[in-house]
């Protein structure tokens, strides 16, 4: 979502004359869009701000030119005051629900004064109503935010505090943006939300649709060739969404469905509000509807009170589900969340050991999944020139990175390729003659 938000921030600044640059050295303004989900991500912000301070000072002393610094995103939201105190060279602090006010904040900039202009409100207005249209095409595969925030309050998670309460964008606003993207070369949409399948937005006739219904409506749009969504919560899977996976040809056979732990005891302590059997049933139903359905997940190891037995249950769940890919993390205590004050915190060494074991298993599953595609012909969306000269890069229906000769097709095409080699992280394809 930060990738999407960053692009929208660039949209808000474009009318003021700002264009994006790859080189920080060229920048008149640097916006750091931040993440607060784990401590490591938050800490990075302060080291980055130290580096930018030195750049800003050098720029001023050697070129007599100013560089403004903005901090956006969830660290700005949660630690705005602290940023202002610890890093007084920061000029703008803006939270994830207030970045449509960036032009106003930037207009208040005064290089001669110290201290930041700040907006970390959860405004009553819908920021999407105030954001300008995209100033540049988003490419063949684009993100589209449809839902933000969360009311679930998993005991480890800061999202309900940083992104705020659950909000669903109305249908018209989503469809309008989708149409604009499709008109400028996008063929694949990934709908975004912290709890995207909990989306329940207002339709044009004033009724409320569920997420499955939204997928059916988007699938009707001219030019939409692929549809994905991320991230989902098991509790919000619903009948029409299961149907969509069977009936909508553009909906890709891949679902990111985090479970976090395979232990019922830990799931309860995490306030996930479902058990492992409920998760198995969902996966079974998806695969019953579409045999080639691939699943990915998120896992946390070392949640307070997690025993060896609990951890073994997680490994067992992974063995049952067989993931195509997954993200896994050591539990990171976050300020203000209930689990952070639990007195059963797990030793860092134990967390590291469990994470290594879990990642070894997940890596072997990812490798097995990639290898299972060898010799198959699959549709690949061509996204960009590859890092390696002479090659292009794209994505399989199952989110695998695929590389192949640059002579094949054009960016934005979907082409059939035969998979000729597979590694843990990518596939190599050849044109089918
Ligand atoms: N510690 C470790 N991982 C976390 N996540 C969220 N909060 C924490 C935390 N406090 C992980 C979850 C979530 C993903 C986005 O980040 O696995 O699904
Ligand atoms: Fe965080 Fe997801 Fe739980 Fe919401 S459902 S609190 S975003 S982990």
Average pLDDT per block of 10 residues along the chain, 433 residues long: 96 95 92 95 91 94 93 96 95 96 92 84 90 94 97 97 95 98 98 98 97 98 98 98 98 98 98 98 98 98 98 98 98 97 98 98 98 98 96 98 97 98 97 88
Of all atoms in ligand 1, which is nearest to the CA of residue 339? 10
**pLDDT value for 59:** 93
Going by alpha carbons, the residue nearest to atom 5 of ligand 2 is 152
Going by alpha carbons, the residue nearest to atom 1 of ligand 2 is 157
Determine contact, residues 316/277, Cβ cutoff 8 Å: no
Q: Which helix (H) or strand (E) holds 23?
A: none
Q: What is the distance between the alpha carbons of residues 106 and 405, in angstroms, rounded to a whole number?
A: 45
Q: What is the distance between the alpha carbons of residues 408 and 278, in angstroms, rounded to a whole number?
A: 44
Q: Which tokens hold the place of 358?
A: 């879990």
**pLDDT value for 74:** 96
Fold of 2-119: Rossmann fold (3.40.50)
**pLDDT value for 109:** 87
Going by alpha carbons, the residue nearest to atom 18 of ligand 1 is 298
Q: Does 2-119 match 377-431 in CATH topology?
A: no
Q: What is the distance between the alpha carbons of residues 360 and 366, in angstroms, rounded to a whole number?
A: 10
Determine contact, residues 52/90, Cβ cutoff 8 Å: no
* Residue that is written with structure tokens 């590694």 in the block: 423
**pLDDT value for 42:** 81
Going 212 to 215 to 219 to 221, the CA torsion angle's sign is positive
Domains in the chain: boundaries:
2-119, 127-371, 377-431
- Written out in words, the top-level CATH class of the domain with range 377-431 is mainly beta
Determine contact, residues 427/402, Cβ cutoff 8 Å: yes
SS3 call for 322 = coil
**pLDDT value for 133:** 94
Q: Which helix (H) or strand (E) holds 205?
A: none
Question: Is the CATH number 1.10.8.420 carried by domain 127-371?
Answer: no
Instruction: State which of 233, 269, 271 you would mutate to test the pocket of ligand 2, scoring each by most atoms of that ligand within 8 A of its C-beta.
Output: 233
Q: What is the distance between the alpha carbons of residues 284 and 294, in angstroms, rounded to a whole number?
A: 11
SS3 call for 115 = coil
**pLDDT value for 197:** 98
CA of 350 to the centre of ligand 2 (A): 24
Cα Rg, the chain, nearest whole Å: 23
Q: Is the CB of 258 under 6 A from ligand 1?
A: yes
**pLDDT value for 112:** 75
């Amino acid at each position: 979502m930060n990738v999407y938000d960053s692009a929208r921030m660039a949209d808000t600044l474009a009318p003021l004359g700002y264009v994006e640059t790859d080189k920080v050295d060229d920048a008149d303004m640097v916006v750091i869009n931040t993440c607060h989900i784990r401590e490591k991500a938050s800490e990075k912000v302060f080291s980055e701000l130290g580096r930018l301070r030195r750049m800003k000072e050098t720029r001023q002393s050697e070129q007599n030119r100013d560089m403004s610094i903005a901090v956006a995103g969830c660290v700005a939201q949660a630690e705005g005051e602290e940023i202002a105190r610890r890093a007084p060279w920061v000029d703008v602090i803006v939270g994830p629900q207030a970045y449509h006010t960036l032009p106003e904040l930037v207009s208040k900039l005064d290089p001669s004064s110290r201290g930041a202009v700040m907006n970390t409100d959860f405004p009553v207005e819908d920021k999407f109503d105030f954001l300008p249209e995209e100033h540049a095409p988003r490419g063949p595969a684009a993100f589209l935010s449809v839902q933000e925030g969360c009311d679930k309050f998993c005991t480890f998670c800061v999202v309900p505090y940083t992104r705020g309460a659950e909000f669903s964008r109305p249908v018209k606003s989503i469809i309008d943006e989708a149409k604009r993207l499709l008109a400028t070369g996008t063929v694949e949409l990934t709908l975004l939300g912290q709890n995207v399948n909990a989306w329940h937005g207002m339709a044009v006739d004033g009724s409320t649709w569920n997420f499955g219904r939204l997928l059916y409506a988007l699938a009707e749009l001219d030019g939409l060739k692929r549809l994905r969504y991320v991230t989902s919560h098991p509790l919000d899977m619903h009948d029409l969404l299961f149907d969509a996976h069977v009936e909508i040809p553009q909906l890709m056979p891949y679902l990111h469905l985090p479970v976090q732990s395979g232990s019922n005891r830990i799931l309860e302590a995490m306030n996930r509000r479902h058990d492992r059997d409920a998760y198995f049933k969902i996966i079974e139903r998806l695969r019953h509807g579409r045999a080639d359905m691939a699943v990915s997940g998120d896992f946390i190891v070392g949640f307070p009170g997690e025993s060896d037995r609990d951890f073994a249950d997680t490994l067992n769940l992974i063995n049952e589900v067989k993931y195509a890919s997954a993200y896994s993390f050591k539990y990171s205590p976050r300020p203000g969340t209930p689990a952070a004050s639990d007195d059963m915190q797990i030793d860092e060494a134990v967390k590291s050991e469990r994470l290594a074991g879990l990642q070894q298993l997940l890596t072997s599953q990812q490798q097995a999944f990639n290898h299972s595609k060898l010799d198959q012909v699959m549709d690949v969306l061509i996204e960009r020139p590859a890092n390696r000269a002479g090659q292009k890069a794209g994505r399989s229906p199952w989110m695998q990175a695929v590389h192949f000769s640059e002579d094949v097709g054009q960016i934005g095409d979907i082409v059939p390729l035969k998979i000729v080699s597979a590694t843990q992280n990518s596939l190599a394809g050849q044109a089918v003659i």
